[in-house]
Amino acid sequence: MDPLDVITNIESISPHYGAIFSADEQSVIGYEVVGKIVVDGTEESLGAFLQDESVPDEYRLEVEDKIARKALNYLPNAAPSVFIFLHRDVNLLMSDQGERFLSLLKEFEKQGCSLDRIVLDIKADKYHGDMKSLVHLLTYYRTYGIKVSIHHSGGESSNLNRIGLLSPDILKIDLKPLTLTSVSQSYNDVLYSIVLLARKIGADLLYKDIEMNFQLRYAWKNGGRYFQGAYLQNPAEHSVDKYLLKGRLKTEFHQFIVTEKKKLEMLYQKTEAFHLRVHGHLSSLKKETKDFNTLLIQLAEQMSDCSFRMYVCDEDGFQQTGNIYRDNNNWIIQEEYYEKNWSWRPYFLENMLRMRRDRKGFFSDLYTDIETGDTIRTFSYPIDEQLYLFIDLPYSYLYEQDGLL
């Protein structure tokens, strides 16, 4: 779109409101403001124009302000508890240390629009300036009750440090990557890191661009408190009833819960069965040999259908055997792993204490193996009070088992 077409038709700009729904109340908690313009009878989005850094800053600032003013004029007519998410280009925002935007908000505060209903929506990864200055500005904004939302693509870990520094109130995650034919385990791993980070810094997760039921389920399962997208409600020129989708969302969440309960029950049954299998083999083999490398080779041969690596650690995480590793169809001992320590791994010591307390084996979460690059699980099993067995299960086995993927 020609920037001049936008500026010469600036009065044709109108805000559209993308409803944001909550998981806890299944209600509308706010609206993301999206700018649109009518040029030659055709309505077009202003997203590309506002993100185009080749457009003069003053043009983009003028359009941002126009959208915000019209949206804020509408705010008193919306439900009193809803939030209004206002996009601002973070570099334009910082060009005058945020004064222009704050002055605009203060105008409307005088008219009775509480600033604690405003959510500043920015893309931190696009910022070119000094991070400390941005941190100071956002901290200053918060003294007025303004909340901060930061966008994250969902599949990249490159700006996690920025998110941690800025400590947003809301972290927005784009679910467009889920529409790809296949999503790698690394995507899920990065998203899991984001979920943990959000929990640590006290940020609510908002999943956007939800276009299908499976994306809503994914967002619900991965800590989403807020949801937005065409599957729920397309942006419109007006607000919608707060409880528009309450019945539908309650029904869908119930279906998600039923499915997850079934999966958890299946995982529990698989865990019990695998524990009994390992326990039975070890009980028999320990009577025949005291050398753990030999014992593991024998155990591996009995469990070739479900494992590609085994090893034993003591309670401090030091390996007491080499790796027993399947190379093609042969099991070999990798002696170089003897005495390696794994206590630095997340949750390793916690899991050791869990095994010692419960005296039972269990499966790990799905994760990507460092050496093979494959998606695997590890089964951990307490041999006795000092020694613990670890069995790595390949993707090919997990794929064949209900409840393990």
Contact 160, 197 (CB under 8 A): yes
pLDDT band at residue 292 using 50, 70 and 90 as cut-offs: confident
Three-class SS state of 260: helix
- Quote the pLDDT of residue 120: 98
Q: Is the pLDDT of residue 17 over 80?
A: yes
Contact 401, 273 (CB under 8 A): no
- Quote the pLDDT of residue 309: 97
Those residues whose C-beta lies under 8 Å from the C-beta of residue 103, and which sit 6 or more positions away, are none
- Quote the pLDDT of residue 86: 97
Backbone angles phi, psi at 220, to 5 degrees: -60, -45
| Domain-wise residue ranges, the chain | 3-230, 259-400
Topology, domain 259-400: Beta-Lactamase (3.30.450)
Specify burial of residue 115 (Cβ count, 10 A radius: 0-12, 13-18, 19+).
middle
Specify burial of residue 280 (Cβ count, 10 A radius: 0-12, 13-18, 19+).
exposed
pLDDT band at residue 125 using 50, 70 and 90 as cut-offs: confident
Those residues whose C-beta lies under 8 Å from the C-beta of residue 297, and which sit 6 or more positions away, are 324, 331, 333
Contact 149, 85 (CB under 8 A): yes
Specify burial of residue 367 (Cβ count, 10 A radius: 0-12, 13-18, 19+).
middle
Distance (Å, whole) CA 31 – CA 127:
24
Lookup: tokens for 206: 């908002």
> Which range among 90-104, 183-197, 277-291 shows the weakest confidence by mean pLDDT?
183-197
- Quote the pLDDT of residue 122: 96
Q: Where are the beta strands (DSSP E) in 175-284?
A: 204-208, 224-227
Rounded to a whole number of angstroms, the distance between the first and last alpha carbons of the chain is: 46
> Percent of the chain scored above 90 by pLDDT?
74
- Quote the pLDDT of residue 41: 86
- Quote the pLDDT of residue 285: 86
pLDDT band at residue 183 using 50, 70 and 90 as cut-offs: low
Distance (Å, whole) CA 138 – CA 169:
11
Q: Is the pLDDT of residue 180 over 70?
A: no
- The three-point CA angle 384-388-391 to 5° equals 135
Q: Could you tell me the pTM of the whole model? A: 0.88
Please report where in the chains the tokens 């419109």 appear, as a residue: 236
Distance (Å, whole) CA 160 – CA 153:
11
How confident is the model over 208-266, as pLDDT tens digits? 999 999 999 999 999 999 999 999 999 999 989 999 999 999 999 999 999 999 999 99
Amino acid at 73: N
Mean pLDDT throughout 164-178?
A: 91
Q: Is the pLDDT of residue 1 over 90?
A: no
Superfamily of domain 3-230: EAL domain (3.20.20.450)
Arithmetic mean of pLDDT over the chain: 91
Distance (Å, whole) CA 303 – CA 22:
46
pLDDT band at residue 382 using 50, 70 and 90 as cut-offs: very high
**Where does residue 317 fall: left (phi above 0), alpha (psi -120 to 50 degrees), or beta otherwise?**
left
How confident is the model over 54-95, as pLDDT tens digits? 999 999 999 999 999 999 987 766 666 799 999 999 999 999
Those residues whose C-beta lies under 8 Å from the C-beta of residue 258, and which sit 6 or more positions away, are none
Q: Is the pLDDT of residue 347 over 70?
A: yes
Distance (Å, whole) CA 142 – CA 320:
54
Q: How many CB atoms lie within 10 A of CB 97?
A: 14
> Which range among 126-135, 225-234, 287-296, 316-325 shows the weakest confidence by mean pLDDT?
287-296
DSSP string for residues in 97-145: TTHHHHHHHHHHHTTT--GGGEEEEE-GGG--S-HHHHHHHHHHHHTTT
